[in-house]
């Protein structure tokens, strides 16, 4: 066993003890300072975290437009609505996610993590949420923010149109989300109309009139659709869905899906069209325009005339014919009346000559005016 007792003189022991205590006090003091500083840092971090969360919450509340908004969550879809549109929101929650997944499967695209959908209850709220867009806008989606804005059925008067518009914007959300490049407008809009089954574009009279008049657009010109007026935009949209249908009819649905992926990846259009259709883009577009001209020939023009135009034109023509007939008849009556007056005058003269001294008695017409 080893003797651990300190055999040093007592003076040295006291000096050594003071040195150790001094070092201990220094270490403890340093530890206390570090602990205090660490506490300050953690407190500051906690305070900043609280302030940041509060600011973010306040900003989120501030981002919502004025109104009594309520929230309905269905999976990753967050539907914002006002109380009067609660049945609309509940019905939408039942079908929106299913259709969105179906579109994603058809196109081979991933589902978005979260979608915020705002159902605008009136025109003012809708314009506030879509400010800067054309007045003919019926719905809009902001893919990067995953925000969709729709008009309430109370505005459009059609629950079917509300659903169609929502599905249309859902296709835009899928095709534009996380892509390296954007789809051209003709493919983006044509595909959205094709998958959503928009009935308003089954009436192709506007497209037929444009084809006959030579007022159609090239695919590049359709990219400026947001700068067009309502009627021109309608023609551009109709051309877009017609082009998508043309590709499906000639090369199948997979050709459209491959075009979507190619454009999203930023592939050159010409080489992409050659790989998918066997022809470059110029040839495909030229053949499609020829298809339009053959489909809407001049002898089909009577099918494309607007019914309102026929009714108003027919009514105007009827009024003109009736007016002309009335004027001609009046002139004939006046002319015939003059001859009768002259004949009666001659007869009167003859009568006077035959019966001298006979008098005439006339009754004055109170309504007559010279």
Query: How far apart (Å, rounded) are the C-alpha atoms in residues 345 and 77?
Result: 97
| pLDDT for res 311 | 59
* Percent above pLDDT 70 for the chain: 66
Kindly report the pTM of this predicted structure: 0.65
| pLDDT for res 67 | 72
Answer yes or no: is pLDDT of 101 > 70: yes
| pLDDT for res 20 | 56
| pLDDT for res 133 | 83
Lowest mean pLDDT among 40-54, 94-108, 136-150: 40-54
Higher pLDDT, 312 or 212: 212
* Percent above pLDDT 90 for the chain: 43
Residue-range domain boundaries for the chain = 63-178, 197-305, 307-337
Query: How far apart (Å, rounded) are the C-alpha atoms in residues 32 and 42?
Result: 15
Higher pLDDT, 188 or 15: 188
Query: Average pLDDT for residues 289-309, to the nearest whole number?
Result: 69
Instruction: Provide the token pair at 39.
Output: 């506490």
Residue whose token pair is 């054309």? 134
Cα-based distances in Å from 243 to 65, 189, 205, 233, 251: 38, 10, 16, 15, 12
Q: Specify which of 130-139, 230-239, 269-278 reaches the highest per-range mean pLDDT.
A: 269-278
How confident is residue 208, by pLDDT bands cut at 50, 70 and 90?
A: confident
For the domain 63-178, what is the CATH code?
3.30.2010.30
The candidate with the shortest Cα–Cα distance to 115, out of 167, 187, 160, is: 167
| pLDDT for res 320 | 81
Lowest mean pLDDT among 203-212, 290-299, 344-353: 344-353
């Amino acid at each position: 066993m080893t003797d651990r007792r300190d055999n040093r003189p007592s003076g040295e022991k006291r000096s050594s003890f003071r040195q150790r205590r001094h070092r201990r006090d220094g270490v403890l003091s340093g530890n206390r300072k570090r602990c205090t500083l660490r506490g300050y840092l953690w407190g500051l971090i906690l305070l900043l975290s609280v302030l940041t969360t509060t600011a973010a919450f306040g900003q989120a509340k501030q981002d919502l437009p004025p109104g009594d908004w309520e929230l309905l969550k269905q999976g990753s879809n967050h539907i914002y609505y006002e109380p009067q549109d609660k049945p609309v929101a509940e019905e939408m929650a039942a079908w929106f996610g299913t259709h969105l997944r179906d579109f994603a499967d058809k196109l081979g695209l991933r589902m978005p993590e979260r979608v915020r959908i705002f159902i605008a209850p009136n025109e003012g709220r809708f314009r506030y949420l879509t400010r800067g867009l054309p007045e003919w806008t019926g719905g809009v989606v902001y893919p990067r923010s995953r925000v969709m804005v729709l008009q309430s059925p109370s505005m459009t008067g059609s629950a079917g149109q509300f659903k169609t518009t929502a599905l249309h914007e859902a296709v835009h959300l899928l095709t534009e989300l996380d892509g390296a490049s954007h789809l051209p407008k003709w493919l983006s809009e044509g595909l959205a109309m094709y998958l959503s089954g928009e009935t308003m574009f089954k009436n192709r009279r506007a497209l037929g009139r444009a084809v006959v008049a030579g007022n159609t657009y090239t695919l590049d010109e359709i990219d400026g659709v947001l700068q067009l007026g309502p009627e021109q935009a309608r023609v551009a949209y109709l051309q877009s869905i017609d082009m998508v249908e043309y590709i499906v009819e000639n090369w199948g649905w997979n050709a459209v899906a491959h075009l979507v992926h190619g454009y999203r990846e930023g592939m050159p259009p010409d080489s992409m069209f050659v790989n998918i259709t066997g022809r470059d883009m110029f040839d495909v577009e030229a053949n499609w325009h020829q298809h339009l001209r053959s489909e809407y020939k001049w002898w089909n023009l009577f099918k494309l005339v607007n019914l309102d135009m026929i009714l108003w034109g027919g009514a105007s023509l009827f009024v003109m014919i009736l007016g002309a007939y009335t004027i001609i008849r009046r002139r004939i009556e006046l002319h015939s009346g003059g001859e009768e007056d002259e004949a009666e005058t001659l007869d009167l003269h003859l009568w006077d000559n035959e019966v001298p001294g006979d008098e005439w008695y006339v009754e004055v017409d109170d309504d007559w005016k010279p």
